[in-house]
Structure 1
């Protein structure tokens, strides 16, 4: 992974960049930093390229990478398939060699279309005097742009600073690949972009109102397009509609009885095969220090993270630990707390009074229960359950110093809550229990697996149930079809910026191209059945897979969003709505 930056300007303009952006770029890539400046041979333009590398595979390859022909590549990505990359090779070097052999736009698009894995890139094609840039189909790597008169800036992360208006930053749409004719830029002193869109019905919009000022985007005249890595959603419907939903809760035994005799166990086996391979590719990481983990999981104990942890256990060498990162934000102590049972506990039935802990949030309780399930699956594995406890004071300081810059250009209450939860979780600084007591612990894992993408494909959100109840399966299909089209702008750029700030790399197995292709090919009724109660009907296929993996109570836990499970939302102004603009992000000050 890398922090990448490119400033395009007239050659007569002073060379420089906003220094407030440099530090977060360097945190993303602590292993190598370098700048390269390129000017047009006969044209009046300059490109300042800057890259900061987190070394993950092959030989450490500093960036920007300039080849013998003078082409310059900034690559923030991982090639997990599509192009051959040997274990001892660096994918930046492999991609640079492939692009150097390209003479036409169609050849460049063919190379990029073949890549399977997350990426954001900037490429200066010297001979053609063009600047190419873009993000992968799902937008799993961040890339922001900002335009002013006679300049364009591209960067992995921006920052609030006196030198720039935060409203000028936007995420580059994951709509395809863009190209700038640098000779034309030098002549006109304005940025005109050609887009080579993904050949897919659910790509994000590049309408004029979604673009910054000082910029014009047009579809390339030749009509060339990027080959989409996944097919459209299977929109077939069953012969009969499901029964209306019920409100009861089902047990693990109920789930097993429900699945018996259905097609889902066989489909679950197929899902396990493709998802297991996606996890295998993503747990490959530099060898850790002795006794340390190379892989961590953002871990709530819910079904998404439990399945990822169980599959990671198949592929991480037995002698290496796996870190389970579990974040909790401090609760206020309730009155009569020794008589009050936490309603979010994963267990049922009467319990003895226990001492209240202000960090016993729902995700902490389900996380501990999930840890015991994983220990049952593999008692020989060292599972580091990292309890990451966050006080209001810590949250205030981290938001002001770091998180509000990383969430930019997003600015909603929801972005603030999720961004804060993921930032502290990815930092991995907490305690683990040893010999009955807590020991300070900080995860050293560079790879962080996250479960984003499961809900979007398997109808896991409450809004999916609302749509189904209101208008049936056809409306649910329309909602699911929309989900992947907007996931780049809604989630993934933000999550990449937040995790990358720790010098770690977020990896998304549920968004592996093979996994998405497999799930997209299935009819919706095999993936979910929202006529069934919460905790079973949503993500029903994944729950079937969880049972085949040997998981128990976690297979029937209802969906709980991280901002509620970690209780970060409880530390904020409770009158806020998730979609409201968050004043804390805009000012950086804690508001009572």
Structure 2
């Protein structure tokens, strides 16, 4: 996981930056730019995303500056940004799971190799553009990027097929300056969240986007309307979906560099419900297959002190469910060290952090966005307790894992939301198409911004490209009523018992992070004040 900030101007773009960030600057000349205030505001957010390394780069004669930060998960450690044969500058944030990448190979270096083979001096500019697009299209994973073609004055940027890493951009209406950033905080500039799967191509000479849009995939994802009334294929689909999910979890574990996986736990955002429990079970299965592995799985469960309901964190629905689900998982996998981390959030601490989370999640600005984002912020920060329920004792525990798993995507793929329950087949198909194609904006951009602020990386097995393709095109629509097919996987393939029957409960209601005050008549769509 890394942080990305790119600034391009039609004139000089050198900006004031602290000396610690000038490792890659061509010289010590630092000139005031019209973008200075905005960049100085954004830089601390980028630093937080990559605690292992930060750098600022300028190049002579190029009106672009790049600021990057790095959270290192794969060896060899690679500083960013990267200049490739004086042809490209690459910024990459995320993880790749391409089968052609050796497990000991750094995924950023993999992209460097692909780009270094492109002849940017070719007279056929459209051919060069297509080669760069092909490199991006062939990447499989969770990522955001900028690629600056220094020869042809073109900047490419965007997010993976579904948009699992945050990225926003702004073209200043007065100066025509381009900003691209992983996270910005609240700013006077009008940043726009990049669409998942869209390749943005900006011509720095013409100061505008190349008009024809380029997509990594066909847009939108289509959802099959096939109905299997007799459930004739239920056993086959259950087994195939299990294999798809198992593979998605496996590659997200095996791509954590051994120095991390042996010495540091893996964490998961854990409500105790169906989706995250399935991921935990699949994580356990994977770790059991790795001889001598004693990796800890940290279950991060958050609960809020809520003055309106008068509930304490220990009384929240998600806390109670997490305790019972953890017992089931520990009984199923006694050889895996599973720890439930109870993150308690006092109301006063909620109030103190609230303005920061509102800032992080910009441009999202509704009550619902805040109630979800602040739950993810505290959960991923992971400052909590471990309780011994045999004797009632508690001791403090701070999350140690820097890779977090999430069950996000299951509701969108398998019909988990309550509003889907009574829809006709055409209506359900239409809703699921909307949900999965809009998840980049509805959830992922916001969630990645607030989670990554804690210097961790989140991975989404349900949003694996193969899982999405299989789930949208192969699973009959009547298997997606109240997550019927996923519950069958939990029951038949993973023996999760009572967990398989757990109803859907949104995190803001399960953790009680919504409607925190006596003014409880606010709607989720209300704009924050």
TM, length-normalised to structure 1: 0.79
Distance 1:87 1:508 in 2: 19
User: Please, which of 491, 516, 522 is the counterpart of residue 571 of structure 1?
Assistant: 516
Match runs of 1:52-451 below 5 Å: 52-81=69-98, 84-103=100-119, 104-148=128-172, 149-160=175-186, 164-165=187-188, 168-185=190-207, 191-198=208-215, 202-203=219-220, 232-237=222-227, 263-284=233-254, 285-287=256-258, 293-316=264-287, 317=290, 318-332=293-307, 358-400=313-355, 402-434=356-388, 436=391, 437-451=393-407
Q: Work out whether residues 48 and 453 of structure 2, in 8 Å CA contact, stay in contact via their aligned partners in 1.
A: yes
1:73 to partner: Cα distance: 0.2
Describe the shift of the 1:476–1:297 C-alpha distance in structure 2 as closer, same or farther (beyond 3 A).
Answer: same
Instruction: Give the equivalent residue in structure 2 for 1:588.
Output: none
1:36 to partner: Cα distance: 1.2
Distance 1:451 1:181 in 2: 38
Distance 1:576 1:309 in 2: 35
Q: Work out whether residues 225 and 477 of structure 2, in 8 Å CA contact, stay in contact via their aligned partners in 1.
A: no
1:293 to partner: Cα distance: 4.0
SS for the counterpart of 1:184 is coil
Q: Work out whether residues 308 and 520 of structure 2, in 8 Å CA contact, stay in contact via their aligned partners in 1.
A: no
Q: Work out whether residues 169 and 192 of structure 2, in 8 Å CA contact, stay in contact via their aligned partners in 1.
A: yes
SS for the counterpart of 2:97 is coil
Q: Work out whether residues 180 and 194 of structure 1, in 8 Å CA contact, stay in contact via their aligned partners in 2.
A: no
1:333 to partner: Cα distance: 9.4
Match runs of 1:465-480 below 5 Å: 465-466=421-422, 468=423, 472-480=424-432
1:46 to partner: Cα distance: 0.7
Q: Deviations over 1:512-545 (max 9, x none)?
A: 011111111224335324xxxxxxxx11111111
User: Please, which of 485, 503, 525 is the counterpart of residue 558 of structure 1?
Assistant: 503
Q: Work out whether residues 234 and 520 of structure 1, in 8 Å CA contact, stay in contact via their aligned partners in 2.
A: yes
1:144 to partner: Cα distance: 1.0
Describe the shift of the 1:200–1:59 C-alpha distance in structure 2 as closer, same or farther (beyond 3 A).
Answer: closer
Distance 2:342 2:331 in 1: 20
Distance 1:60 1:70 in 2: 22
1:201 to partner: Cα distance: 5.7
SS for the counterpart of 2:72 is coil
Instruction: Give the equivalent residue in structure 1 for 2:68.
Output: 51
Distance 1:264 1:184 in 2: 55
Please tell me whether residue 542 in structure 1 is matched to residue 486 in structure 2: yes
Q: Deviations over 1:235-268 (max 9, x none)?
A: 334579xxxxxxxxxxxxxxxxxxxx85323311
Please tell me whether residue 20 in structure 1 is matched to residue 41 in structure 2: yes
Q: Work out whether residues 293 and 323 of structure 1, in 8 Å CA contact, stay in contact via their aligned partners in 2.
A: no
Let me know the Cα RMSD of the aligned residues: 2.2
Once the two structures are overlaid, the 10-residue window that deviates more, 138-147 or 515-524, is 515-524
Distance 1:291 1:453 in 2: 28
SS for the counterpart of 1:157 is coil
Distance 1:334 1:234 in 2: 42
Instruction: Give the equivalent residue in structure 1 for 2:476.
Output: 524
1:321 to partner: Cα distance: 1.0
Describe the shift of the 1:443–1:288 C-alpha distance in structure 2 as closer, same or farther (beyond 3 A).
Answer: farther
Distance 1:328 1:195 in 2: 47
Instruction: Give the equivalent residue in structure 2 for 1:249.
Output: none
Q: Deviations over 1:254-297 (max 9, x none)?
A: xxxxxxx8532331111111101100111232446799643111
Describe the shift of the 1:202–1:67 C-alpha distance in structure 2 as closer, same or farther (beyond 3 A).
Answer: closer
SS for the counterpart of 1:431 is strand
Instruction: Give the equivalent residue in structure 2 for 1:4.
Output: 4
Q: Work out whether residues 176 and 198 of structure 1, in 8 Å CA contact, stay in contact via their aligned partners in 2.
A: yes
1:76 to partner: Cα distance: 0.8
Distance 1:119 1:500 in 2: 13
Q: Work out whether residues 239 and 489 of structure 2, in 8 Å CA contact, stay in contact via their aligned partners in 1.
A: yes
Q: Deviations over 1:18-63 (max 9, x none)?
A: 32211111110011111111354xxxx6101010000011211000
Describe the shift of the 1:38–1:393 C-alpha distance in structure 2 as closer, same or farther (beyond 3 A).
Answer: same
Distance 1:566 1:288 in 2: 34
Instruction: Give the equivalent residue in structure 1 for 2:450.
Output: 498
Instruction: Give the equivalent residue in structure 1 for 2:25.
Output: none
Describe the shift of the 1:574–1:39 C-alpha distance in structure 2 as closer, same or farther (beyond 3 A).
Answer: farther
1:462 to partner: Cα distance: 1.4
